[in-house]
Structure 1
Amino acid sequence: MPSTAVLLEPAAAHLRREPAALRARLDLRAVLPPALALLVVLTATAGGYGYHRDELYFRMLPPAWGYIDQPPFTPLVARVVAGVVDEAWALRLVAALVAAVAVLVVAAITAEVGGGRGAQALAAWGAGFGYYPLLLGHVLFTATFDLVVWPLVLLLVIRAVLRRQGAWFLLAGLVAGASLYNKLLVLALLLAIAIGLAAAGPRRAAVWGWAAAGALIVLVVGAPNLVWQATHGLPQLRIGAALSAQNAAAVRPFVVPFLVALLGPTLVPVCVAGFLAPFRRGRWRDLRWLPVALVAIVALVVLMGAQLYYDLGVLTAVFAVGCVPAVEWARTRGRRAMLVAAVAVNAAAAALLALPVVPASALAGTVVPAWNQAARDQLGWPALAHRVDAVDAAHGTDAVVLTRNYGEAGAIERYAPSLAGRTFSGHNAMHDAAPPPATTDVVVAVGYSMGWLRQDFAQCETVTRLPDADRVVSQETGAPVRVCTGRLTPITRIWERAAWVG
């Protein structure tokens, strides 16, 4: 892949040659093939490995206006889909469709800044088959919907600024307000955009007037969800603090280096081109807020210290802009071959890391588990459930199963029907359900330490431990399964102590 300096070499000439109107028409002949190819790839691999722990959790949650750890949208989607077809591949069809639509939105950003057919194709193939877009398109996460939402909000703001048509801010506010019912993290995107506009302009009064109107729409559309948060003690702040406490040491030092991996290393020069070009091209002056917004969102991700990928949406938009100078650079056959090879190599590596391409039986001998925690979290759930079911069967059918986390509870509920209605967990929103029956005497405890259990039971015996999955170590591997009897305290006290977020 060429260096960024070489990729940007014709920038000065473009100050003289750029057309009066920046935007180009979205070329469906260029962007539909990569969108359809992505849909085919994600559909073909949708059944690989098995449910992710989050998917097992989402499908269990009853419909509600909100939960302690998230707004209602993604769990509602999972619940509805599972009610029709209760298989992992069915949930992943939703994720695949979202990822395919996201390809069109990213390409539309490239078109909006003047990118023609080649630049739009580069944006679609590159962003669609990047590492994290593939990962989020394979599993139904709350972040899956951000693949569309964040680039769409940025596209609408870019239109508002470049076309000098402030009404696009209103539509951006509508999209962001609706997104609050999936994740409150979109507020960080809006803050980053505001910082970018304030720092780099344009500073026309009309821009800020329309932007303020868009912000008002966000508050109006999202008001019911925001009111729910306020009346329930702002649980999202509690969850954010818990994630930061757990992850900050491992997240903050790597946020900036991880930018290289989000889309893929060979696409970094295109991202850098998109970051620098607005400062080098006179007619892109009104785009300078976008690189500043990327800096702002990276700083916010470091400050939050929760997850490494929260800045993906803004990085993708910067990549979309960079596709224009990248294709302009690739005028010769040799350069075009280099650009195509960069995208192809990146897509192949991303697919190997993000998708269930490697058989589960061979996964332990590869680097995939080290790079992709989501892969580890899709393995071994049926075996876990069957082992706990066997312990319950050996110690009476009236026992209550108490699991340390929602993944374990979700696996048991899905794969051990005899334990349905008798499995409980204090993890996140599962603690909001009714506690175990007051008459509970025998508890099969999964993942709890002996010290924790002995405060409430006269006797606890370690019966077995959870297996690994095809020699891939996960957070469940080796967790104890204990049978406790002789309850010493009320079940309500045990249930209260079981509550935790993270």
Structure 2
Amino acid sequence: MNLKKYISKNYLLNDFAVIFYLAIFKLLLHLLTNTIYNFHRDEFLYIEMGKHIDWGYVEVPPLIGIYSKIAGDLLGGSLFAYRFLPALSGAIIVLLTGLMVKEMGGKRYAQILAAVSVILSPLYLRTGTLFQPVPFDQLYWLLGAYLLIRILNRNETKMWILFGLVCGLGLLNKYTMLLFGFGVFIGLILSVQRKYFLSKKFWIAGGISLIIFLPNLIWQHQNDWVVFEFISALGSQQLVNFDPFGFVLTQVFFVWMAFPIALLGLYFFFFSKSGKNYRPLGWIYFSSFLILLFLSGKHYYLGPTYPMLLAGGAVMIQRWIEKKHRHWFKPAIVGLLIFFSLGIFPYGLPILPFPQLEKYVKYMADNYGLAEALRWEDGKLHRLPQDYADMTGWENQVAHVAKVYHNLPPEEQGKCVLWCSNYGGAGAVNYYRKKYDLPRAITLAGSFYTWGPGELPGEIVIALGFDKDDFGNWQNVDLATTIKHEYAREEKMPVWICRNPKKTLQELWPDWKRYRF
């Protein structure tokens, strides 16, 4: 038997297998690191959504609630369980990146280069760690992009049906999927592929997307189109600090050493003869970039586009190497990519203890100009990346609240309501409540407001956060303790005990609607 010939044909060593192994590596990378830090503030909100399944929420469409239900009920509800789904999503993104390269004519080296670029990019390391709609948004964009390439490459118009299904599900996950749809529409108009507007299946795909998305539209109508109120609040509270230069600079940091490959991907789609067929992918990026820049969008909203660019760039690099017979470039490029990316792994993966992390990011900011990674939504530079500051102190906070609660007389415990100033605090209490024998917490923040104040009138309230002036409804307000977090966003959190209310929480709740954002 010719063993070499057998191995070369063996399915365990073909192109797909190699990309699959890289995807498994990506999955294992997250599974081994995703419990080092505590839950993120936003994760507590999404976990709570899994307990209130609906066709929509104040902040997001409904699918994250379904994912939360799956992780909570079927996978066990642990930190590892919730973060398994984004890790799996990240692995599939790596696989899809390799498949896109192959579909565009890229050989094994190009597939490996693109896949490794995605694995090493700080953005995808971060999003593959956190349970939130973002990694699933990236996945739906990439699924749509892969199907689009199949359509453009093979004229497989039947794929439009599946494309419509993916886009519809993507819209039920995150509204930014609209950017993808708009980019596809513009890309087809402005390219030789406009012929697909004459395809019946193209319009059927649009109808399928709309039908899938329709329940959320009905929910929005029934809830006074709260999404626009949320977007307005987001713009006035967070995006008001938008910096165009910071937006552009962050795009470079997101893919780090692979950014030149992404730029080559843009060139491939717009100016290369061999990439002309896939030009709509270039328009997806360019149109999304301009819209987000003009509307002051969050930096990571553009994240789903980079695997497309990296795929195109990898194809172009491989063809240049083969044309020039510079085959030694192949290991050199991958080696340099890995070498210069390992040094910034802590920005994407939560692997350093917080004291070491603080020293590390300060050193990188002072010596390598990476201060932008320390800029928060308030527009200011802080000592840790914002996501990491939101991933510490939660259980300690709940433990302090529990101590205050259990120091109350039994008759007051039965009347006590736990009220938090933000959804992170309320979600943390509700996640750890069984462990610490606590009642369910409430808050006015976002979707929590729609779930109401509960049944107790608020005769006794333990309030986490707030200023004393916020408690005009209670005649007796005492400071029970102050929780100190060395690295958390809220470094000091007062805990108040409020007694003798003038009105019940149920009476006040409708008037407090204006405070939910």
TM range (shorter): 0.7 to 0.9
- For 2:44, the equivalent position in structure 1 comes to 56
Contact 1:244–1:304 (Cα < 8 Å) also in 2:
no
**Letter of the structure 1 residue corresponding to residue 335 of structure 2:** A
> Deviation of residue 486 (structure 1)?
2.3
**Letter of the structure 1 residue corresponding to residue 483 of structure 2:** L
**Letter of the structure 2 residue corresponding to residue 472 of structure 1:** Y
- For 2:469, the equivalent position in structure 1 comes to 451
Contact 1:120–1:323 (Cα < 8 Å) also in 2:
yes
Alignment of 1:137-148 (within 5 A): 137-148=128-139
**Letter of the structure 1 residue corresponding to residue 470 of structure 2:** W
Q: Give the percent of matched residue pairs that are identical in Structure 1 and Structure 2.
A: 23
2:276 matches 1:285: yes
**Letter of the structure 1 residue corresponding to residue 36 of structure 2:** G
Instruction: Give the whole-Å Cα distance in 2 for the aligned partners of 1:440 and 1:419.
Output: 19
Q: Deviations over 1:374-408 (max 9, x none)?
A: 22211111110011112222344232111011110
2:15 matches 1:27: yes
Q: Deviations over 1:460-492 (max 9, x none)?
A: 223322321xx3141x22132222222123322
- For 1:479, the equivalent position in structure 2 comes to 493
> Deviation of residue 114 (structure 1)?
0.9
- For 1:129, the equivalent position in structure 2 comes to 120
Aligned residues: 473
- For 1:255, the equivalent position in structure 2 comes to 247
Alignment of 1:236-315 (within 5 A): 236-253=227-244, 254-264=246-256, 266-315=257-306
Instruction: Give the whole-Å Cα distance in 2 for the aligned partners of 1:466 and 1:195.
Output: 52
Contact 1:58–1:79 (Cα < 8 Å) also in 2:
no
> Deviation of residue 425 (structure 1)?
1.0
2:510 pairs, out of 491, 496, 502, with 496
Q: In the superposition, relative to structure 1, how do residues 192 and 252 fare at CA in structure 2: closer, same or farther (>3 Å)?
A: farther
Instruction: Give the whole-Å Cα distance in 2 for the aligned partners of 1:281 and 1:442.
Output: 69
Instruction: Give the whole-Å Cα distance in 2 for the aligned partners of 1:365 and 1:387.
Output: 28
Residue 66 of structure 1 aligns to a residue whose secondary structure is coil
- For 1:40, the equivalent position in structure 2 comes to 28
Q: Which moved more, 1:157-166 or 1:142-151?
A: 157-166
Instruction: Give the whole-Å Cα distance in 1 for the aligned partners of 2:288 and 2:510.
Output: 37
1:427 pairs, out of 420, 445, 450, with 445
**Letter of the structure 2 residue corresponding to residue 424 of structure 1:** I
2:478 matches 1:461: yes
**Letter of the structure 2 residue corresponding to residue 355 of structure 1:** L
Contact 1:98–1:137 (Cα < 8 Å) also in 2:
yes
2:92 matches 1:101: yes
Q: Deviations over 1:149-189 (max 9, x none)?
A: 11111121222223223222222111111222222221121
Contact 1:73–1:182 (Cα < 8 Å) also in 2:
yes
Instruction: Give the whole-Å Cα distance in 2 for the aligned partners of 1:449 and 1:381.
Output: 20
Q: Which runs of 5+ in 1 are unaligned?
A: 1-25
2:78 matches 1:81: no
Residue 55 of structure 1 aligns to a residue whose secondary structure is helix
Q: Deviations over 1:256-301 (max 9, x none)?
A: 222102222x111111111012333223222222222211101222
> Deviation of residue 419 (structure 1)?
5.5
Q: Deviations over 1:326-378 (max 9, x none)?
A: 22344535523431133213542453211121124533333188363222211
> Deviation of residue 128 (structure 1)?
2.4
- For 1:319, the equivalent position in structure 2 comes to 310
TM-score when scaled to structure 1?
A: 0.88
Q: In the superposition, relative to structure 1, how do residues 213 and 436 fare at CA in structure 2: closer, same or farther (>3 Å)?
A: closer
Contact 1:391–1:463 (Cα < 8 Å) also in 2:
yes
Contact 1:386–1:416 (Cα < 8 Å) also in 2:
no
Residue 60 of structure 2 aligns to a residue whose secondary structure is coil
- For 2:386, the equivalent position in structure 1 comes to 373
**Letter of the structure 2 residue corresponding to residue 410 of structure 1:** G
Residue 128 of structure 2 aligns to a residue whose secondary structure is helix
Contact 1:136–1:144 (Cα < 8 Å) also in 2:
yes
